[in-house]
Amino acid sequence: MSNSTNILESIKGYQEGLARKSEREKTGSDFTEQKGKTAHEIAKLHPKRLQLKVSDIFDDTASTKTFRFKSMNGVLPPFQAGQYINLYVNIDGVETARPYAISSCPTKRDYYDLTVKLVDGGFVTNYLLNHVDQGQLFSATSPMGTFYHNPLFHGDKLVFLAGGSGGAPARSMIESVLNRGLNMEFHLIYGNSYESDVIFADTFRELAAQHKNVHLTEVISRPTEGYSGLTGHLNAKLIADAVGGVSDKTFYVCGPTPFNEFCESQLKSLGVENKRIRIECNGPPKQPSCLENWPQVVSEQDEVMVTVQGRGEFKAKVGEPLLNSLERNGYRVENACRSGECSLCRVKVIEGEVFNPPEAHLRKSDKDFGWVHSCVAFPTTDIKILY
C-alpha cells in the first residue's frame, strides 16, 4: 500500500495508521518463535494420545486387577478424580478400546492406575485380566469425562454410591479429598454381590477408620450365611439411614447400568434434586430391544448390511453397537466414552434407520441431519453411513 496514488490517503487518520503499521514492522515479532507452541500448550493438558507401559499389576480380588500405567512419552497430564482414559487394545487383530476410570489419586503424577473387573463374556476385560503382562505397551486418550467434584455447585458433602467396579473412581475421589486436604465430608456407600469380591475393601476401611471426614457403608447383596453386615440393595431407606438428611449433599453414582438406574430412582424418591445426582455413564445398553421405542419388527440377532460410503460394506448384528461392528470389520473410528456422551464417534446415517437409546446425548442438529453416536447406535435396517 505504498502506492502514492492510494485514494485512501484522503481519509483522516489513514496516513497515521500506515505510519504506525510501518513502525511496528520494524520492532514486532514475526511469530516464528510461536512455532510448535500451540501444540505444546495443548499437549500439556490434553495430549491426543498417551503412550503407556504397564509398570505393575496388582491382584485386587479374584475378579479384579489394578494395572499401573506409566508414561512412555513425557509427563502424564493432570486429571480430576473421577475421570477416565480410553485404553486402546488390539485383540486378535481387532482394534478397539474401552474407557476405564482412573483409580489412583490425581496428586500422584507419575502413574495412572486402572482397576478392571472381569465382565461375564467381556471381550476386553477378559483380554486385560488374562493376557496382559508387566511391560506391555498401550496407547490411550488423555483423561476425559465430566464425572468429578465441581466446586461451583457440588458443595462439600459428598456421597458416593458405588457398585462393584464403581469403587475405582470412588477411591480416586476419596484420596483426592484427603491428599489435597480439602474440607469435605465423603461418604462411600459401596454395594457388592459377594463379601469375597470387594475391590479396595481394606483400603476403604482403613481410610474410614483413620479420617473423621471419610465414612464407609458396605452392603452385600448375596451374603454368605452368617454375614453380619448390611445386605440387599442401595434402596432409599438404606441410603437415608446411612447419610441422614439428603439436603445439601451431592450424590455420585457409579456402577453397572441397572445399579445406576436403581440408585437414581431411590435418590429421587428421597427428594434429591437432579443437579445433586451425578451419574457416570457405563457403556452401551446390553439389551437395547428391551428399551422404549425399539422397533418391534427386528430382534437383536437379526443381521443387516452396513455400507460405509466410498469404502466398503459388511454384515452386522442389529444388537451390536455400530462402533463395535465397525471396529470388528477394520474401520477406525475415533471414540472415547463409548457410552453416548462424548460424541467423538459421530457418523452420519445417509440411508436406513438406527435405534438411538436414551444414552445417546445427541445435539438438536444431529437429529435434524442424521448424525448419530455410533457407540450406542444400533442399525435396525440396512444402513449407509458416512464419517
- Rounded Cα gap, residues 229 and 201, in angstroms: 14
Considering CB under 8 A, how many residues would be counted as binding other proteins?
Answer: 66
328-347: contacts with other proteins (CB under 8 A): 334, 341, 343-346
- Is 151 among the residues that bind other proteins (CB under 8 A)? yes
Q: Does 226 bind other proteins (CB under 8 A)?
A: no
State yes or no: residue 30 binds other proteins (CB under 8 A).
yes
Which residues inside 259-288 make contact with other proteins, applying CB under 8 A?
A: 273-275
CB closer to other proteins, 17 vs 232: 17
Using the contact rule CB under 8 A, the part of the chain among 217-225, 238-246, 312-320, 360-368 near other proteins is 360-368
Q: Of 21, 131, 211, 237, which one interacts with other proteins (CB under 8 A)?
A: 21
Binding mask 69-108 for other proteins (x = CB under 8 A): --------xx-x-------------------------xx-
Q: Does 366 bind other proteins (CB under 8 A)?
A: yes
Q: How far is the CB of 114 from other proteins (least distance, A)?
A: 20
CB burial of residue 146 (10 Å; 0-12, 13-18, 19+): middle
Among 2, 4, 31, 93, binds other proteins (CB under 8 A): 31
The rounded distance, in Å, linking the Cα atoms of 68 and 166 is: 18
* Residue 22 within binding range of other proteins, rule CB under 8 A: yes
- Catalog residues that contact other proteins under the rule CB under 8 A: 1, 5, 7-14, 17-18, 20-22, 24-32, 34-39, 41-42, 44-46, 77-78, 80, 106-107, 109, 146, 150-153, 273-275, 334, 341, 343-346, 361-366, 368-369, 371, 386-387
